[in-house]
Amino acid sequence: MYRHVIRRGLILVVLGIIYNNAIRFDFANMRYASVLGRIGLAWMFAALIYMNTGYKFRTFWTIFLLLLYWGLLAFFPAPDLGSSDPYSMEGSLTGYIDRLLCPGELYLGIHDPEGILGTVPAISTALLGMLTGSFVRSETFVKKLNQKVIFMIVGGVALLIIGKIWDNFFPINKNLWSSSFVCWTAGISLLLFAVFYFFIDMMGYKKWAFPLVVIGMNSITIYLAQRVLYLGYTSDFLFGGLAAFFNEIWQPVIIQLAYAVTCWLLLYWLYKKKIFLKI
């Protein structure tokens, strides 16, 4: 199990580097940080914590990492670019560590949204998901699913409130993956999850969610495919004539919807062929 967890995390890091054009072999100017790398590392470390702790210590680690990250940024601003704002690209410790340790290029020049230190609060994001999964799978309220939904709604609202209050001291900021951002996005995610859980698991309304199942079964596949395949050309070939019937205001909307449909059709074909990218 340990070997699987570590291998999966590192494979996602490698796929993220490949996504950033590693096969061009311009290593000096390549971006090594990536979205897939952030997912891989955050999930890997969260999984290792989950495998070696109980519920109380998982909760402790979730909170501790968020407070640790806040403290590091608040008390140790970047010393190199002369900014006094510890939450700016120039002044944050997050950007400074990326400038110091990340090889190649950073996504924003002096800062990378998926850099090294930002992985710390992202681990809490993954742990919050694992805690939610444990709660749903637990035998607590096994015959009272409505109570599970209520608890998740209460938890989602609580996270939103914590995130909004924390925003006054540590701004909600995706580029920093700030602790308040973790709470805010986790709150939104938990509320949406509760809605899906209510309609799908409790009410049994499942057929409407099939398009989402098709996407979810190959989410990493379509993420990589958009980089490798010229799906915009395919979308224009299939739906460009239809978009031309609309006025200039609606054409961009139709074009983007057509692109999403094209991606979904590719995933649907893979789904029917039972072809899934598993890591």
**pLDDT tens across 10-58, in order?**
999 999 999 998 788 888 888 999 999 999 999 999 999 999 999 999 9
The secondary structure of 41-77 as a DSSP string is: HHHHHHHHHHHH--HHHHHHHHHHHHHHHHHHHHH--
The least confident of 117-121, 138-142, 162-166, 246-250 is 138-142
The least confident of 4-13, 232-241, 266-275 is 232-241
**pLDDT tens across 158-209, in order?**
999 999 999 999 999 999 999 999 999 999 999 999 999 999 999 999 999 9
In terms of Cβ atoms closer than 10 Å to its own Cβ (0-12, 13-18, 19+), residue 234 is middle
**274: alpha, beta or left? (left if phi > 0; alpha if psi -120 to 50):** left
Cα separation, 213 vs 222, in Å, equals 13
pLDDT exceeds 80 at position 65: yes
Question: Which helix (H) or strand (E) is 249 found in, with range?
Answer: none
pLDDT on residue 96: 96
**pLDDT tens across 255-278, in order?**
999 999 999 999 999 999 999 988
Q: Which residues pair with 150 in a beta bridge?
A: none
Q: Which residues pair with 104 in a beta bridge?
A: 31
pLDDT on residue 279: 85
Q: Could you give the percent of the chain with pLDDT greater than 70?
A: 100
Residue 187 · residue 159 · CB < 8 Å: yes
Residue 55 · residue 67 · CB < 8 Å: no
* pLDDT-based confidence at residue 142 (cuts at 50, 70, 90): low
The least confident of 106-110, 142-146, 266-270 is 142-146
Cα separation, 41 vs 12, in Å, equals 8
Contacts of 200 (CB under 8 A, 6+ apart): 206, 209
* pLDDT-based confidence at residue 212 (cuts at 50, 70, 90): very high
Structure token pair of residue 153: 């709604």
What residue has token string 């995610």? 189
Cα separation, 170 vs 172, in Å, equals 7
pLDDT exceeds 80 at position 140: no
Neighbouring CB atoms inside 10 A of 101's CB total 10
